[in-house]
Amino acid sequence: MDKILVTGGLGFIGSHTVVELQNEGFEVVIIDNLSNSSIDVLEGITAISVKSPIFEKLDLKNKQSVQNFFSTYKDIKGVIHFAASKAVGESVQEPLMYYENNLNTLIYLLQELTVKSNSNFIFSSSCTVYGQADEMPITENAPIKPAESPYGNTKQIGEEIIKDTCKVQPNLNAIALRYFNPIGAHPTAKIGELPIGVPQNLVPFITQTGAGLRDELSVFGDDYPTPDGTCIRDYIHVVDLAKAHVVALKRLLNKKNKINFETFNIGTGVGSSVLEVINSFKRVSNKSLNYQIADRREGDVVSAYADTTKANTELGWKAQSTLDEAMLSAWKWEQQIRDL
Ligand code: WQD
């Protein structure tokens, strides 16, 4: 079966995607530099899919290492590129680290792929490229707004780099998946989200508060122009997101003609407010949750949820899990890692 490179394959979305790829019979090679992941995730992946991916500890910022990798692994049929820094707030403080880590690595990978015949590349992009979109739900044709952070800018520039390269490189076929808000964990609770330090994202903060690791959740503003005053997002189960990568990969592998550069919004199509997410946690955990209303967070958009028509019709993919199902998987994972 085809051998697929997954960069950042020990990360949150990467690890769940490796499981789905192995379940589909693909042979997987993971590159990860372990800067934001744990080698223990390899054990979880193997336990779930009863198959061990090949693992190469390698920093994609090292151009020679990337060249050596592709000299060794000449039979890579597709690349799914997750490896990147992804903390919005951190990117504001460390812009050069973000531009180097998220863009140099992409360029070095593409330089190797363009010399191979028939390269297939999937790029981990984000709904942040839309900024605060003018219309909801958000389609792939929504205008790309000036990025609100260096992180978001690396996703926009990354897409441009791939698009420009595909135009002039007959060997390169590429798809960018624009994620909305990935949450949850594998139903076996053997892999999940492992935020380092204080979680920046809502759902891990909620489950850590539910587990007693945090005293209370701060809800960043309840005076937004939304039904309950809190921000709206499209929370998608990470396994649904992982499956979207397998579908996109197969689209590239089975293509009849060159695929220059396609983008797909990967969400559920359903918007949920912060308070609705809190209520989801209460329902599935049967616990209360300490929270208080705090000031708005700089850079937050009011609302972002996907129009999934293109992914449903052209990609043939649709999210299956509800918010409660995703939240329950997140809570089960939290309980598992805390031995609750
Ligand atoms: C969701 C909502 C917060 C924490 C970010 C990145 C995006 C992607 C997903 C990488 C917002 C509110 C949060 C808290 C809160 N990451 N919130 N209290 O900001 O939509 O997206 O993560 O690809 O690129 O931008 O996700 O989970 O941080 O916030 O009230 O303690 O929850 O204000 O409205 P976000 P988030």
Q: Per residue, what are the HEC states of 34-81?
A: CCCCCCHHHHHHHHHHCCCCEEEECCCCCHHHHHHHHHHCCCEEEEEE
Nearest-CA residue for ligand 1 atom 1 is 202
- For 192, phi then psi, to 5°, come to -175, -160
Distance CA 102, CA 111 (A): 15
Whole-complex ipTM: 0.97
C-alpha 202 – ligand 1 centre gap (Å): 6
pLDDT at 186: 98
Atom of ligand 1 nearest to the CA of 274: 32
pLDDT computed for residue 335 by the predictor: 96
Q: Cis omega before residue 137 (within 30°)?
A: yes
Atom 32, ligand 1: residue with shortest CA distance: 202
Burial 252-281 (b: 16+ CB within 10 A, else e): beeeeeebebbbbbbbbbbbbbbbbbbbbb
Using the mean position of ligand 1's atoms as its centre, give its distance from the Cα of residue 134 in Å.
Answer: 19
Per-residue pLDDT of the chain (340 residues; tens, 9 = 90+): 899 999 999 999 999 999 999 999 999 999 999 999 999 999 999 999 999 999 999 999 999 999 999 999 999 999 999 999 998 888 999 999 999 999 999 999 999 999 888 899 999 999 999 999 999 999 999 999 999 899 999 999 999 999 999 999 999 999 999 999 999 999 999 999 998 899 999 999 999 999 999 999 999 999 999 999 999 999 999 999 999 999 999 999 999 888 889 999 999 999 999 999 999 999 999 999 999 999 999 889 999 999 999 999 999 999 999 999 999 999 999 999 998 8
Q: Thinking of the domain 3-183+236-266, which architecture would CATH place it in? A: 3-Layer(aba) Sandwich (3.40)
Domain ranges of the chain: 3-183+236-266, 202-233+269-333
Angle, helices 274-285/323-337, rounded to nearest 10 degrees: 60
pLDDT recorded at residue 340: 85
What is the reported pLDDT for 258? 87
Specify whether the CB–CB gap between 138 and 180 falls below 8 A: no
Place of tokens 């973000």: 98
How much is the mean pLDDT over the chain?
Answer: 96
Identify the pLDDT of residue 296: 96
| Amino acid letter for position 279 | N
What predicted TM-score, i.e. pTM, was given to this entire model? 0.97
Q: How far is CA 185 from CA 77, 155, 178, 194, 327, in A?
A: 28, 24, 19, 10, 9
Residue 173: enclosing H or E segment and its boundaries? strand 172-179
Atom 19, ligand 1: residue with shortest CA distance: 300
List ligand 1's pocket residues with C-beta within 6 A.
Answer: 86, 88, 126, 128, 179, 181, 200-202, 205, 217-220, 231, 233, 274, 297, 300
Tokens standing for residue 210 = 């539910």
Alpha helices in 169-254 (DSSP H): 202-210, 238-253
Mutational pocket test of ligand 1: of 297, 298, 302, the residue with most ligand atoms within 8 Å of the beta carbon: 297
Which residue's CA is minimally distant from atom 9 of ligand 1? 181
Which token pair is 148? 């609100």
State the pLDDT at residue 217.
98
| pLDDT score, position 134 | 95
**Given this model, what pLDDT does residue 195 score?**
87
Q: Rounded to 5 degrees, what are φ and ψ at 53?
A: -70, 160
Ligand 1, pocket-test mutation among 149, 153, 178, 181, most atoms within 8 A of CB: 181
Nearest to 103 by CA among 53, 63, 132: 63
Q: Which atom of ligand 1 is nearest to the CA of 231?
A: 34
What fold, for 202-233+269-333?
UDP-galactose 4-epimerase; domain 1 (3.90.25)
Which protein residue's CA is at the shortest distance from atom 30 of ligand 1?
219
**How many whole angstroms from 15 Cα to the centroid of ligand 1?**
21
Give distance in angstroms: CA of 72 to centre of ligand 1: 39
Q: Is 221 left (phi over 0), alpha (psi -120 to 50) or beta?
A: left
Catalytic positions: 151
Distance between CA 263 and CA 301 in Å, rounded?
21
